[in-house]
Chains A and B, each alone.
Chain A
């Protein structure tokens, strides 16, 4: 079946612009996660959605970052007023339920000039 998909695969933007990153989870998966992987560093948790519960935003690095999940399916990660340090690979993952294997998308490579 179809896996997790993300778009765009690559995004180049100018400092100060807003960007939106999209994630389509595996159908039926109730949990959705966003992570960030900066060059030379490990993965960093950003935000988590589970069903209709309020998302866990504890990993968002600043108030310029926000995310939403519509209809319990597609999710959008928005970065406002991008900074060069936002350059990273943004990965989305979904899982059938809590504490289950997470399935990752291919990521969006963001470059802020």
Chain B
């Protein structure tokens, strides 16, 4: 069964810093990998989706990379802001009907 791990579990950084969140998965046979953001008391917001044939995706200050062969993805956040504080989840899709989630990294950006 696919297992998704996210490191670190929690991270605190001062405003303005660049940071990297890590995600690893055990089975490289994936369709895509997604990064989500979860704010307290709210649902998930999709940030970036990387298809299995792609190496990276960028959206604004966010850049996600995918190394399928090694089972790794990183989410890079540039010039962090207090509004970036949230839990970030990565998820891999291994079939048409299944998405395996990591347990998330709780990010706090300190003003």
Which positions in A face B, CB cutoff 8 Å?
4, 6, 33, 35, 41-43, 45, 48, 50, 56, 59, 91, 93, 98-99, 101-107
Contact = CB atoms under 8 A, between A and B. Distances in A.
Contacts of A4: 43
B99 A106 contact: no
Given A42-B4, A50-B96, A101-B46, 11 more contacts: A41-B103, A43-B101, A50-B97, A91-B43, A99-B32, A103-B46, A104-B36, A104-B45, A106-B41, A106-B43, A107-B43
Interface in B43-97: 43-46, 49, 89, 91, 93, 96-97
17 contacts: A41-B103, A42-B101, A43-B101, A48-B97, A50-B97, A56-B97, A93-B44, A98-B97, A99-B96, A101-B49, A102-B99, A104-B46, A105-B43, A106-B41, A106-B42, A106-B43, A107-B43
A78 B104 CA distance: 27
Given A45-B98, A48-B98, A102 B46 contact: yes
A68 to B, nearest CB: 16
Given A99-B32, A99-B93, A102-B34, A45 B99 contact: yes
Contacts, number: 54
Nearest to A99: B31
A42 B104 contact: yes
Contacts of A41: 103
B3 to A, nearest CB: 10
Contacts of A35: 99, 101
B44 A104 contact: yes
Interface string B1-23: 00010000000000000000000
